[in-house]
């Protein structure tokens, strides 16, 4: 059994950040790889999202372990208020540490959110907080990868690999990537349903002027955004169109979206 950890929604202006740890046996990994499993971001074209969803559902059925951490927009905003003592990286690494700690797999690969040295430094720090008796042994460190082992009080060993672009290199991380992206997209559609918004009105959730659905939502709901009515928005995001809506007292919309 091997495990992979990846996230989806880190840069989004709408909705939660999802971190997923998934454990599969080698037979299941080979089966998924032969079907075309890959990093969730590589499923493009009209059939891309459908194919990614099919993989995510199958992965969840095959997985012997599935750990999911949802970090809501309000929690992200609260964390960023505490900078420099806290930040999004630390918030994410704390949740990754919980997943590493809870997984029973002896082989865990993580898609790093920064340089491997940075992630390993803080990941081991937070793991130590979870269990002070853990013993760490650093094995190998390169510019794009790092490896270390954890020895638990029961003498069980966990071998951890941290790698840049792990979601493209390691199929088990590609699997975690697909599930995280699926849960993230499902989450956005659930928000739309809960608030009685038209389907896809939140778009992908990422701040991009070419996402017409997202931009139309900002324009249509500027007063609600100014009043912080929506708990699913990351109001701390320093994206010019969002911040101009929040800070402006004018209802003249054309001024909001000029860079």
Residues 86 and 139 in one domain: yes
3-state secondary structure 226-238: HCCCCCCECCCCC
Q: Specify the DSSP element, H or E, that contains 19.
A: strand 17-24
According to the model, what pLDDT value does residue 52 have?
Answer: 93
Q: Span 67-71, mean pLDDT?
A: 98
Residues 153 and 247 in one domain: no
Q: Span 70-99, mean pLDDT?
A: 96
Last residue of a domain, one of 136, 169, 187: 187
What is the total count of domains within the chain? 2
At 104, which CATH number? 3.30.420.10
Residues 220 and 174 in one domain: no
Residues 20 and 67 in one domain: yes
According to the model, what pLDDT value does residue 215 have?
Answer: 87
According to the model, what pLDDT value does residue 255 have?
Answer: 55
Residues 107 and 215 in one domain: no
- pLDDT-derived band at 110, boundaries 50, 70, 90: very high
- pLDDT of residue 230 exceeding 60, the answer is yes
Helix orientation angle between 88-102 and 116-130, rounded to the nearest 10 degrees: 60
**Tens of pLDDT along 125-166?**
999 999 999 999 988 788 899 999 999 988 999 999 999 999
Instruction: Give residue 16's region: left, alpha or beta (phi > 0; psi -120 to 50).
Output: beta
Q: Span 76-85, mean pLDDT?
A: 94
Q: Which residue did the predictor score with more confidence, 140 or 64?
A: 64
CA-CA-CA-CA torsion sign (245, 246, 248, 250):
positive
Q: What domain range includes position 27?
A: 2-187
**Long-range contacts, 225-230 (Cβ 8 Å, 24+):** 230/195
Residues 9 and 107 in one domain: yes
pTM for this structure? 0.93
Residues 142 and 218 in one domain: no
Q: Give the CA-trace dihedral at 37, 101, 92, 191, to 10 degrees.
A: 70
Asked if residue 192 belongs to a domain, the reply is no
**Tens of pLDDT along 166-207?**
999 999 999 999 999 999 999 999 999 999 999 999 988 988
Asked if residue 47 belongs to a domain, the reply is yes
Residues 166 and 138 in one domain: yes
Identify which of 71, 63, 65, 62 has the alpha carbon closest to the alpha carbon of residue 90. 71
Last residue of a domain, one of 164, 187, 210: 187
Mean model confidence pLDDT for the chain: 92
């Amino acid at each position: 059994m091997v495990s992979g950890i990846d996230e989806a929604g880190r840069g989004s202006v709408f909705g939660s950040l999802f971190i997923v740890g998934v454990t599969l046996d080698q037979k299941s990994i080979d089966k998924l790889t032969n079907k075309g499993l890959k990093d969730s971001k590589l499923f493009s074209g009209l059939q891309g999202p459908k194919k990614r969803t099919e993989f995510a559902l199958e992965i969840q059925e095959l997985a012997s372990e599935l750990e999911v951490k949802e970090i809501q927009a309000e929690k992200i905003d609260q964390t960023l208020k505490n900078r420099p003592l806290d930040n999004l990286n630390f918030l994410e690494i704390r949740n990754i540490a919980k997943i590493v700690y809870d997984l029973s797999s002896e082989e865990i690969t993580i898609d790093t959110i920064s340089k491997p040295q940075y992630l390993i430094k803080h990941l081991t720090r937070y793991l130590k907080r979870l269990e002070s008796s853990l013993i760490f042994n650093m094995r190998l460190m390169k510019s794009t990868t790092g490896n270390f082992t954890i020895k638990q009080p029961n003498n069980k060993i966990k071998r951890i690999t941290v790698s840049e672009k792990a979601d493209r290199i390691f199929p088990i991380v590609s699997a975690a990537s697909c599930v995280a992206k699926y849960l993230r997209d499902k989450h956005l559609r659930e928000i739309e349903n809960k608030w009685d918004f038209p389907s896809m009105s939140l778009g992908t959730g990422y701040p991009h002027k070419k996402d017409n659905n997202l931009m139309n939502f900002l324009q249509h709901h500027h007063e609600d955004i100014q009043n912080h009515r929506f708990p699913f928005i990351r109001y701390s995001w320093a994206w010019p169109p969002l911040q101009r809506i929040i800070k402006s007292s004018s209802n003249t919309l054309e001024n909001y979206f000029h860079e």
